[in-house]
Amino acid sequence: MIIGKNVPKTAYTKLCSQLDIPPTLLDYIGLPNENPMPGRNLRQLPDSISGRAIMQYYQNNAYWEDGKVLIMQPKHEPLSFTYSQESKTFTPIPLDVEMHIDYSDKIKIGIFFVLLLL
């Protein structure tokens, strides 16, 4: 939720993540949005781009996109699942290697960005 005097009331209904807030806010205030942040500017995404979320709880990470979920935990092999909106259930599937590589790259970029700020 972004609230402000001149912020139009709109709703983003696709899956998104807290990481999407900084690039979206930069766009709202009119600043250039060329940065290494893993978040996406939700105001500029075409309808053809699906929603996605990047989640973390302690050392556990998850990446959710296009109905697929990738879970990575220390000292464990990554796990892949599909999610059914109708039944609200996760079903294990073989590891989606392409999704794993893509998500791993996003995490490395995010860590690099955080280290630059320290």
Q: Where are the domains of the chain?
A: 18-117
Q: Which residues contact 30 (CB under 8 A, 6 or more apart)?
A: none
- Name which of 42, 55, 36 is nearest 1 in CA terms: 42
pLDDT, averaged per 10 consecutive residues of the chain (118 residues), comes to: 78 86 87 80 88 87 88 90 92 85 63 51
**Which residues does residue 55 pair with via DSSP β-bridges, in sequence order?**
62
Question: Which pTM value belongs to this model?
Answer: 0.71
Specify the pLDDT at position 47. Answer: 87
Specify the pLDDT at position 118. Answer: 47
Residue whose token pair is 């998500």: 103
- Compute the CA torsion angle 77, 80, 56, 87 (nearest 10 deg): -140
Residue whose token pair is 């139009």: 8
